[in-house]
Chains A and B, each alone.
Chain A
Amino acid sequence: MRFSSKYIFILFLCLVFASCTTDDNTEKDEQKPTIGINYDGGFPQACSQLVKGETYSFKAMITDNVELASYSLDIHHNFDHHTHDDQDGECSLDPKKTATNPWIYIENYPIEDGLTSYEISISITIPNDIDTGDYHCSFSVIDETGWQSRTSVDIKIVE
């Protein structure tokens, strides 16, 4: 009798410790993913001129310390000269104008599981029936934890 209750005590003690240790080592991911176009092949570079009707491959490198989840590309007009580019150098902007048929491209793409680095490559043909002028091109990336990073450049669409 004494022997079996001792066993029970030890068993419970083990359970108590075992049940509590697991949660302590879930480390928090505090790092944002990285995104960059400053490498050979990164496209578009700041102040690039894109021709209507031509097909371009939009490329950026993304990395994360844990796991990448998804990325997106957002191209919208900048006829009103709002700013949110983070790239070096000032591009010369056309005078402000009112948009009549501006181009807008917003797409999200998932990334296959388990990757910590990836090269975005999206092939896009610039539509023929859109307003030419200044545009913003913005890449963003989200990691599995939910951190986001983005990079944005000024580009120009010409005839």
Chain B
Amino acid sequence: MKTNIMKANFKSLAIVAFLGLFLHSCSTDDDGGTDVTAPQISNFEFGEGSEHSTEPYAYKGSDLHLEAEINAQGIVSSISIDIHADDIEVGDGEVEWDYEATYTNASYLVINPTFHEHIDIPSNIPAGEYHIELTVTDEMGNSTEIEGHLEILDPITISDFHMDTTVARGSDFHVEFMINAINGIHNISVDIHAHDLTIGEGEVEWDYEEIFEDGFHEEIEAEFHKHIDVPLTAPAGEYHVLFTVEDEDGNTTEYDTHIDVTA
């Protein structure tokens, strides 16, 4: 009797042990993808390159070149791009730029795609440092992110601005500044006018508008240096002076200031 029970126990134990082994031996292989490594991203390029500074850069109003080589054992399921600024002050007439896009083009949904896109950079965004993030997700749900810094620059900049603050009518005043325009300067217009000045006896309203192109056209860097005559008949008072630089692509940058015309 005793031996019978032992025998029965031993048998059921053996069956359980083998069943356990049997099931155990097969469970690990079922999800076969756990050893798939996350996507790898290499040679991430963005912007115009970095010959001017340590950071890649791009100009407002141009298009941003993006390229990366991807190796995803688990086959790419999506590629996304996020561009945003962390702390940039948004100026007058500018809007914040926060760009997000996800690409699932058939030609990217492979093991070894080369990601290549061009994104239009708006021309009305603040210049400065932006963050750029590239995220690659594979079909197993693994994802890899790579990030970088991108300097967004103005296509036209005006610097070293010097202008007389007062001028006696009948004489001239001096203005000079430097212009850098990556697309080449188209022209520079100057507009001088006053608001609500009383026009006295023998005086004529002075409204000066002039477009300068000679010596600037198609230049990438130029010095604007002019002497502007104020007519003897101009009413004395405060005048508004506006310089507008336009480049070959139609981008414009304005610089405005004031000058006092004295009698």
Contact = CB atoms under 8 A, between A and B. Distances in A.
A and B interact physically:
yes
Interface of A: 1, 5, 8-9, 12-13, 15-16, 19-20, 23, 32, 70, 72, 74, 80, 82, 84, 98, 108, 140, 142, 145-148, 150
B6 interface: no
B25 A20 contact: yes
Given A19-B25, A84-B116, A108-B106, A147 B18 contact: no
Given A13-B18, A148-B110, A150-B114, 12 more contacts: A1-B7, A5-B11, A5-B14, A12-B18, A12-B21, A70-B106, A72-B106, A74-B107, A82-B65, A108-B106, A142-B107, A145-B111
B5 interface: no
11 contacts: A8-B14, A9-B18, A12-B21, A16-B21, A16-B25, A20-B26, A23-B29, A82-B65, A84-B114, A140-B107, A148-B111
A57 to B, nearest CB: 22
Contacts of B119: none
A147 B111 contact: yes
Contacts of B111: 145-148
Q: Is the interface of A mostly helix, strand, loop or mixed?
A: mixed
A140 to B, nearest CB: 6
B106 A12 contact: no
Nearest to A20: B25
A110 B114 CA distance: 20
Nearest to A80: B63
Contacts of B26: 19-20
B158 interface: no
Contacts of B112: 32, 147-148
A-B CB proximity, top 7 nearest: A148-B110, A12-B18, A146-B75, A146-B111, A23-B29, A108-B106, A19-B26
B237 interface: no
A16 B106 contact: no
A9 B25 contact: no
Contact of A148 (B21, B32, B107, B116): B107
Contact of A146 (B7, B22, B110, B249): B110
B129 to A, nearest CB: 24
Contact of A147 (B25, B32, B110): B110
Contacts of A20: 25-26, 29
B113 interface: yes
B15 interface: yes
Contact of B18 (A16, A80, A82): A16
A72 B110 CA distance: 13
A147 B75 CA distance: 8
Contacts of B114: 84, 150
Interface in B105-145: 106-107, 109-114, 116, 118
A23 B32 contact: yes
Contacts of B113: 148
Contact of B22 (A15, A80, A142): A15
B107 A108 contact: yes
Nearest to A23: B29
Given A12-B18, A82-B65, A142 B25 contact: no
